[in-house]
Chains A and B, each alone.
Chain A
């Protein structure tokens, strides 16, 4: 069965709430019924088939073509299946997703994979602020799964993150790992200021030496046995993280943020 494909006819001026088009909500619907659904576009409600041309039938395998940065809430609360975005994705991509897979060929906006629980998200380009974070006022960000960003990520990566992996091949902005409760953020490129700000537990795994706050204490150089196991788990990815030539188990360990619980760690390749 061919993938259910939404091809954007034109780019609306206002932002589009794509949350009604998650795989689990479309299960069992005929293409005509899907076309008749309405999406919130700014203040207006617009029929799906006015905004997209539809083809294919497989509601558990969705492709969004001609996508651009104003298509928000793509694959919100996704429970299973796969969503492929050709182009950019807007804000809240994969918000609260429970399982399944999202692949974006371009960039994604703020709150990518925020409060995600399980599954896999791939961003071929750059991701905005608050990747894997918690929505404002909420206490728990990402709780499981893996986010792979091949480009750069914005500020506040993993804010309030609780569990799971965020893998960034490029750079991460300021406040990476802020208020993190647990989980792993790995950054191959450079990290910005205030790394691990108010971090409680969790691991920031870095290939480049960071600019650390005074509230992170040097615990010395170590060979850590869990790193080969962690890197082995990345080998199935189509990513530089799978390249064993870039793997290591010898690190400088910094503990922090001592202004908070201080059980977090920054591990820097040496």
Chain B
């Protein structure tokens, strides 16, 4: 398959079941909601070393938030419910409770309930106040700038993590420009996050390493500087490869994000140095969710 001069590989991305949750952070201004959201989703690019994958889903207008203030929706993904709950609580406590004027609300009503502010309330040292409004429990925790308002729980749902595609370009600036274009449009798709810095990964990994202590190492088959040294997947004109990883609440959400992202890359086309779209997988043996690139773009 070729779109606008860009070859779409007959391969697939391989993804895994994860657990996910969403939280809504509000503040006096969007600026402070975003600062808190960025802190809460920081150091959360990969479950390999961060314990979770997290990202900002989108900015919310005041009429979309529970307290009528500007807000940001964030999502956190982890391999299991226990790990997700721990990450959520730790991050909420250190990054939202501490952030000026912030409030924290559930972003998923259904699913298994996990603690959001339920245990953060103890920071109130007995001065915290509970309010049960329309069946939802809120905690008002006295803090130095006034009150930190938080919903007690949020929903945890089954999700999919690890959807991905690779952008193969003739130069590094062209690969980055294509990925930026893809991320811009992918951020308009609900229920997905791209957890890596700016949504783009330049250090895709393969399973295993020559070093026993490492479970993953650089994906040498896609490293352009190793074209003459390894079993390369790259043709001579490819000078840079970047990857976009997508976590979503469902396979359909990731499908949609991949489709609009790949389309944005292809819109730049061969004229802008984009040669191929590929994807990362483990032979289909590890992850039950397969995203076939040519089917997605058909």
User: Which residues of A does B touch, CB under 8 Å?
Assistant: 144, 163-164, 182, 184, 201, 203, 222-226, 228-230, 232-233, 263, 265
User: Which residues of B does A touch, CB under 8 Å?
Assistant: 66-69, 103, 126-127, 129-134, 138, 140, 146-147, 149
Q: Contacting B129 at CB < 8 Å: which of A229, A233, A263? A: A263
Q: Contacting A203 at CB < 8 Å: which of B66, B69, B131, B146? A: B131
Task: Return chain B residues, CB-CB under 8 Å to A226.
Answer: 67, 131, 133, 138, 140, 147, 149
* Inter-chain contact A229/B146, CB cutoff 8 Å: no
Task: Return chain B residues, CB-CB under 8 Å to A201.
Answer: 129
B140 nearest in chain A by CB position:
A226
With A222-B147, A224-B147 as known contacts, state yes or no: A184 contacts B131, CB within 8 Å.
yes
* Inter-chain contact A223/B146, CB cutoff 8 Å: yes
Task: Return chain A residues, CB-CB under 8 Å to B66.
Answer: 229, 232
* Inter-chain contact B147/A225, CB cutoff 8 Å: yes
Task: Return chain A residues, CB-CB under 8 Å to B69.
Answer: 225
* Inter-chain contact A233/B133, CB cutoff 8 Å: yes
Task: Return chain B residues, CB-CB under 8 Å to A229.
Answer: 66-67, 133, 138, 149
Q: Contacting B132 at CB < 8 Å: which of A163, A222, A232? A: A163
CB distance from B30 to the nearest CB of A (A): 16
List, sorted by A's number, 9 A–B pairs whose CB atoms are closer than 8 Å: A201-B129, A223-B146, A225-B69, A225-B149, A226-B131, A228-B68, A229-B66, A230-B133, A232-B66
CB distance from A232 to the nearest CB of B (A): 8
B130 nearest in chain A by CB position:
A182
Q: In the complex, what distance in Å separates the CA atom of A225 from the CA atom of B127?
A: 16
Task: Return chain B residues, CB-CB under 8 Å to A265.
Answer: 129
CB distance from B226 to the nearest CB of A (A): 55
Task: Return chain B residues, CB-CB under 8 Å to A164.
Answer: 132
* Inter-chain contact A233/B140, CB cutoff 8 Å: no
B151 nearest in chain A by CB position:
A229
Q: In the complex, what distance in Å separates the CA atom of A232 from the CA atom of B63?
A: 12
CB distance from B199 to the nearest CB of A (A): 31
CB distance from B233 to the nearest CB of A (A): 53
Q: Contacting A225 at CB < 8 Å: which of B67, B126, B133? A: B67
CB distance from A236 to the nearest CB of B (A): 9
Q: In the complex, what distance in Å separates the CA atom of A242 from the CA atom of B68?
A: 16
Task: Return chain B residues, CB-CB under 8 Å to A225.
Answer: 67, 69, 103, 140, 146-147, 149
CB distance from B290 to the nearest CB of A (A): 43
Q: In the complex, what distance in Å separates the CA atom of A229 from the CA atom of B66?
A: 6
With A229-B67, A233-B133 as known contacts, state yes or no: A224 contacts B140, CB within 8 Å.
yes
* Inter-chain contact B131/A230, CB cutoff 8 Å: yes
Q: In the complex, what distance in Å separates the CA atom of A141 from the CA atom of B63?
A: 36
CB distance from B117 to the nearest CB of A (A): 12
Beyond the given A226-B138, A230-B133, could you list 16 further A-B residue pairs with CB under 8 A, ordered by the A residue number? A164-B132, A182-B130, A184-B131, A203-B129, A203-B131, A222-B147, A225-B69, A226-B147, A228-B68, A229-B67, A229-B149, A230-B131, A232-B66, A233-B133, A233-B134, A263-B127
A253 nearest in chain B by CB position:
B147
Task: Return chain B residues, CB-CB under 8 Å to A182.
Answer: 130
Task: Return chain B residues, CB-CB under 8 Å to A184.
Answer: 131
CB distance from B162 to the nearest CB of A (A): 37
CB distance from B223 to the nearest CB of A (A): 50
CB distance from A116 to the nearest CB of B (A): 14
Instruction: Please list the 5 inter-chain residue pairs (A to B) with the smallest Cβ-Cβ separation, ordered nearest first.
Output: A225-B149, A233-B134, A233-B133, A228-B68, A225-B103
CB distance from B72 to the nearest CB of A (A): 16
Q: Contacting B146 at CB < 8 Å: which of A144, A222, A233? A: A222
B103, B130, B132, most chain A CB atoms within 10 A: B132
B139 nearest in chain A by CB position:
A226
Q: In the complex, what distance in Å separates the CA atom of A117 from the CA atom of B140?
A: 23
Task: Return chain A residues, CB-CB under 8 Å to B140.
Answer: 224-226
Task: Return chain A residues, CB-CB under 8 Å to B127.
Answer: 263
Task: Return chain A residues, CB-CB under 8 Å to B131.
Answer: 184, 203, 226, 230
Task: Return chain B residues, CB-CB under 8 Å to A233.
Answer: 133-134
Task: Return chain B residues, CB-CB under 8 Å to A263.
Answer: 126-127, 129
Q: In the complex, what distance in Å separates the CA atom of A184 from the CA atom of B140?
A: 14
A224, A226, A265, most chain B CB atoms within 10 A: A226
Q: In the complex, what distance in Å separates the CA atom of A230 from the CA atom of B66?
A: 10
Q: In the complex, what distance in Å separates the CA atom of A263 from the CA atom of B133?
A: 19
B101 nearest in chain A by CB position:
A225
Q: In the complex, what distance in Å separates the CA atom of A23 from the CA atom of B99?
A: 51
